[in-house]
Amino acid sequence: MKATNGVSILSGAVLSMLASTVVTAETNEEFDPEKFFKQGMEEREAGSPYNAIESFQTILSNQPSLHRARLELAVAYMQTLQYQEAEAQAQEVLNDPKTPPSVRVSILAFLAQLKKDAEQLTPQHEHKFNVTVGVLHDSNVNVGPGSSVVDINGSLATINTRPVDDNAMVLSGSYDHSYRTGKPMRIGQKTGMLFWQSGASIYHRGYETEDDFNLDVLSVRTGPALVTNGNWRANLALQGDHIRLGGNELANYISLQPSVTWSFDASTELTVDAEFSDRDFEQASDQGRDSDYYSLGIALGKGYKNNTIGVQAGFEWYDNHAKDTEYSYEGWEAFVGANWQIKPTTSVFGRMSYSESDYEAPVTLINKTRDDEEWQWMFGGKHTFGNDYELSAYWLRTVSDSNVELYEYSRNQLSVNIGRKF
């Protein structure tokens, strides 16, 4: 989205205009074109191209033959994605028979760049499909506690629930659609391009024997995205999730997910995102879990060695207001991750996170209010071959610590997948 090539292309042309006496400025003792020219250049360099346009237009309204200002106006128009206006200004200088040959060469190159950049204003649809199949080994399918002895109302009791391991087949598919509207939008001194992004995905995890824990998730989403020619972009997604567990209806989530990303340079980005979700559980026994969920997160990413190595760290606050306060909680999560692109087709990654969740009411039959802590470690890698196929694998370890023994557990999941993009 950044239209910077026009600046370098026309810089030599403007210098030639400054040194040339071919175009003579009109005399106006009450108007100082140099003042407005300097002002326009400073505004453009400071990232205020719309203000610069006004300054250069002021010059030309008083001295229409001052073509060096007209060329700088063309560049400012280019930076704001007003390609037709930029072409008109450059063409007027090119049509002047007094324009030096060296300047004509630069203008012709500028017009060629304009034509190329203007293609981004052409409305365009983009479709992407992805299908993945994999196998998973899960050491704790039922999220069983680490101890068979728990404290119930101050008395020790023995429970039969223990961790059960199993293997599973994992299937997933997704479809993504992006529509580039081709309509630029002014936002302050920046210019944005509006997109509309939609998609759907389906996920199935089927265990060999523990089919009560089979998981199915169907998700659909849609919403606008705005990409600016400055240093930020934003999107807003409306998402719906339908979840089934063990072949039974579990819950429906409806979520609104806004996000804004600022790019400080080619390798550093800061993202702020949020989620507002209505969670509706289907089973009569789960009605107390119906809730409104809110979260707010911030993440900073940095690239090294031409962005072949990326690191990211972030923090998220979340709050779940359930119908039954036993299921209401508030907490936070912090994470750090890294990705190393060993070669164009191969990369490895790792992520570590820690979270704390404080519940509002005691657990049923247990005279304790939950305070949970959770650690997660993930390591994996992926390799692309044949352009369309991707082989990936990861290991995920989760350790949960709680003051209520029923919710203390550890879990290891090892997955190998192969996917294809269309």
CA 167/CA 145 separation, integer angstroms:
19
Give the pair of three-digit tokens for residue 12: 């030599």
Per-residue pLDDT tens digits for 72-110: 999 999 999 999 999 999 999 999 999 999 889 999 999
pTM, rounded to two decimals: 0.84
Per-residue pLDDT tens over the stretch 146-187: 755 455 555 544 455 789 999 999 999 999 999 999 888 888
Amino acid identity, position 210? E
First to last CA, the chain: 26
Residue 1 has pLDDT above 80, yes or no: no
When pLDDT is averaged across residues 260-289 and rounded to a whole number, the result is: 95
Can you tell me the mean pLDDT for 289-298?
Answer: 98
The CA distances from residue 52 to 39, 59, 78, 128, in Å, are: 7, 11, 12, 40
Q: What is the mean pLDDT of residues 244-267?
A: 95
**Closest of 197, 203, 199, 189 to residue 232, by C-alpha:** 189
User: Mean pLDDT for the chain?
Assistant: 90
At residue 4, the pLDDT reads 53
H helix intervals, 80-199 = 83-95, 101-117
Specify the CATH class of 124-421 in words: mainly beta
What's residue 13's pLDDT?
Answer: 56
For the stretch 56-69, pLDDT in tens is 999 999 999 899 99
Q: Would you kindly state where each structural domain of the chain is located, as residue ranges?
A: 5-121, 124-421
Residues 5-121: name the CATH superfamily. Answer: Tetratricopeptide repeat domain (1.25.40.10)
